[in-house]
Amino acid sequence: MKPLSMFLFGLLLMPLARAQSVITLEQCYSSGIANDPLTRQREILQQTGELALANLDKNRRLPQLGINGQASWQSEVTKLPIELPGVPIPQLSKDQYKLTADLSYTLYDGQQTVFQKQVQQASTAVSLQQIAVEQNRLKEQINAYFLNILLTDENTRLTRIRLEELQNRVAKAEAGVRYGTVATIGVDVLRTEVLTTEQQLGQLGSNRRGLRDQLGILTGLVITDSTRLIIEEGKTVVANLPLNRPEQKLFDAQRTLLDEQLRLTANRLQPRLRAFAQGGAGRPALNFLNNDFRGFFIGGLRLSWDLSAAYTLRNDRTVLALSREQITVQQKVFDRNLALQLRQQQTEIDRISALLEKDREISALRSKVRQTASVQLDNGTLSARDYTTELNAESQALLNQKTHELQLLLAKVQYRTLTGN
């Protein structure tokens, strides 16, 4: 048996007036992912994640600055409960104004920013891996179009061989009619088969154009009538393949996100220490007995410690633990279904392999019978109708063999796709 790679290389080799382009299955995978709109979404998610990290980093490193203003009127103001003769006591205005610039800088945040950045990175990783899962399904679509084109091309090749044989037979039969050795009905039978075969070639050509256009839309590649599709030999190896499904990486990424969220949740009980400064002008300023507009400044340290976060900490941890358990259940379901699919695919590989063993024997016998029928037709001991029956039977046997070879190829490629390789 010839190596599979040699078979695939020569599978679609046809006489062409110009050079042919070659496209491999791996090229279709790469171009399909590059042409997929989800690839742009992946880039957007990466950029969004980077910007979110940059914002967290800036908020931690840079001081927080704000401008605040207030104008108010109140029904009553503070008054001194004393009166001194000849000494005026200033009285505050009921309309008051204040404009301040507030500056604060976090000296210690209990590593809150660190945990927030880790949560953001883990969240981005989950989103990116979800896209990888969606794009992995694209390979199955590419497999179907790619292999159907190969099957159509092989059918076309065998049909052209049959057409050439029929055309040669028509020429011989027409010569026999001129010399009176062949009945006219024999030529008509052969011509009918020629027309039927040409009709089949037309249908196959239309089918291929439809399939190639669909594959072109999916991958963004330029696929013409002369483009040869080739599957690399490495794509048919199914022994000892490790599992490399993107879903498994997604489960790991989801667990990592929950771990980071748990750390951030526990961090809420940490105290925060900030330095602050406030400068501005108002009426009244810091001296509330002075009713003039004056500038003022305040600076110092501020400690905050939200102990009420402990109220829900236990429940929050429980929720995250249950979410982690849910991911474990989902992964077990996925692993079980994947094992079933791989077993089914291996059964399909074994079934087609068994068919191929008989296909080769059947094709050899059909070719032998057709050769004998050819000699009998030349000797006038077999009718043209009976000869075309044997010719069609041989063509069908060869087509069945090539179909099963391509189906075996597809089954192996699908097996590799299921394993994530």
User: Are the beta carbons of 216 and 32 closer than 8 angstroms?
Assistant: no
Range in 86-95, 122-131, 177-186, 345-354 with the lowest mean pLDDT: 177-186
**Structural domain contains residue 282:** yes
Question: What per-residue confidence (pLDDT) applies to 370?
Answer: 86
**Structural domain contains residue 60:** yes
Q: What does the pLDDT look like over 150-182, one tens digit per residue? A: 989 888 988 898 888 888 878 877 777 676 656
Question: What per-residue confidence (pLDDT) applies to 2?
Answer: 41
**Structural domain contains residue 135:** yes
Q: What is the mean pLDDT of the chain?
A: 86
Question: What per-residue confidence (pLDDT) applies to 277?
Answer: 94
The whole-angstrom separation of Cα 183 and Cα 174 is 9
Question: What per-residue confidence (pLDDT) applies to 179?
Answer: 61
* SS3 at position 67: strand
Q: At 59, which helix (H) or strand (E)?
A: helix 37-61
Q: Is beta strand 22-24 parallel, antiparallel or unpaired with respect to 228-230?
A: parallel
Q: Is beta strand 228-230 parallel, antiparallel or unpaired with respect to 64-73?
A: unpaired
pTM (two decimals):
0.75
The pLDDT of residue 342 is above 80 = yes
Question: What per-residue confidence (pLDDT) applies to 338?
Answer: 93
Residue at 56: amino acid letter: L
Q: What does the pLDDT look like over 373-410, one tens digit per residue? A: 888 887 878 887 888 888 888 888 888 888 898 888 88
Question: What per-residue confidence (pLDDT) applies to 17?
Answer: 34
Question: What per-residue confidence (pLDDT) applies to 376?
Answer: 86
Domain of 388 in residue numbering reads as: 4-72+95-419
Question: What per-residue confidence (pLDDT) applies to 286?
Answer: 84
**Structural domain contains residue 200:** yes
- pLDDT range class, residue 20, cuts 50, 70, 90: low
The whole-angstrom separation of Cα 124 and Cα 118 is 10
Cα torsion 367, 369, 371, 374 to 10°: value is -130
**Structural domain contains residue 15:** yes
* SS3 at position 79: coil
CATH number of the domain enclosing 16: 1.20.1600.10
**Structural domain contains residue 79:** no
Q: Is beta strand 272-283 parallel, antiparallel or unpaired with respect to 294-304?
A: antiparallel
Question: What per-residue confidence (pLDDT) applies to 181?
Answer: 55
**Structural domain contains residue 90:** no
Mean pLDDT computed over 280-305:
88
Question: What per-residue confidence (pLDDT) applies to 199?
Answer: 92
Question: What per-residue confidence (pLDDT) applies to 377?
Answer: 80
Mean pLDDT computed over 3-25:
52
User: Are the beta carbons of 156 and 201 closer than 8 angstroms?
Assistant: yes
Helix then strand then coil, in percent of the chain rounded to 5, is 65, 15, 20
User: Are the beta carbons of 154 and 406 closer than 8 angstroms?
Assistant: yes
Could you tell me which of 24, 257, 284 has the C-alpha nearest to residue 127? 257
Count other C-beta atoms under 10 Å from residue 170's C-beta. 19
Q: What does the pLDDT look like over 188-226, one tens digit per residue? A: 888 888 898 899 999 999 999 999 999 999 999 998 888
Range in 87-91, 122-126, 366-370, 406-410 with the lowest mean pLDDT: 87-91
Q: How many domains does the chain have?
A: 1
Q: What does the pLDDT look like over 222-275, one tens digit per residue? A: 988 888 888 887 767 777 788 889 999 999 999 999 999 999 998 988 999 999
User: Are the beta carbons of 164 and 362 closer than 8 angstroms?
Assistant: no
Asked whether the bond before 271 is cis by omega within 30 degrees of 0, the reply is no
Count other C-beta atoms under 10 Å from residue 258's C-beta. 19
Could you tell me which of 376, 400, 362, 415 has the C-alpha nearest to residue 158? 400
**Structural domain contains residue 122:** yes
